[in-house]
Amino acid sequence: MASISIRQVVKRYGTGAKAHQVIHGVDAQIADGEFIVIVGPSGCGKSTLLRMVAGLEEISAGEIAIGSRVVNEVEPAERDIAMVFQNYALYPHMSVFENMAYGLKLRKLPTAQIRERVDRAAAILELGHLLGRKPRELSGGQRQRVAMGRAIVREPQAFLFDEPLSNLDAKLRVQTRLEIQKLHRSLNVTSLFVTHDQVEAMTLAQRIIVMNAGRIEQIGTPEAVYGRPATTFVAGFIGAPAMNLLRGDANARVFSMGEQVLELPAPAPRRGELILGLRPEHAVQAQDGWPLIVEASEMLGAERLVYGQLAGQPFTLRIDGLAAAPAPGSQLMLQAPAERLHWFDPASQQRVE
Instruction: Assess contact for 130 and 99: CB atoms under 8 A.
Output: no
Say if residue 78 is in the same domain as residue 179.
Answer: yes
**Domain count for the chain:** 2
Domain end call among 209, 236, 263: 236
pLDDT for position 18: 81
pLDDT for position 172: 80
Closest CA to 309 of 334, 284, 287: 334
pLDDT for position 175: 83
Say if residue 16 is in the same domain as residue 137.
Answer: yes
Residue 351 belongs to a domain: no
State the sign of the Cα–Cα–Cα–Cα dihedral 346, 348, 349, 353: negative
What is the rounded CA–CA span in Å between residue 223 and residue 89? Answer: 34
Instruction: Assess contact for 320 and 304: CB atoms under 8 A.
Output: yes
pLDDT for position 88: 79
**b/e map 289-328, b = 16+ CB within 10 Å:** bbebebeebeeeeeebbbbbebbebebbbbbeeeeeebee
Count, residues in the chain? 353
Say if residue 11 is in the same domain as residue 148.
Answer: yes
CATH number at residue 302: 2.40.50.140
Give pTM, 2 decimals. 0.90
Task: Give me the residues of the chain with pLDDT under 50, please.
Answer: none
What is the rounded CA–CA span in Å between residue 92 and residue 103? Answer: 15
- Domain that residue 303 falls in: 244-344
Tens-place pLDDT, residues 168-214:
788 888 888 888 898 898 889 999 999 999 899 999 999 999 999 99
- What order of strands is seen across the sheet that includes strand 331-335? 313-320, 303-310, 284-299, 331-335
Say if residue 183 is in the same domain as residue 43.
Answer: yes
pLDDT for position 148: 87
Residue 21 belongs to a domain: yes
Question: Which one-letter amino acid corresponds to residue 279?
Answer: R
Report the relative pairing of strands 35-39 and 207-212 from DSSP bridges.
parallel
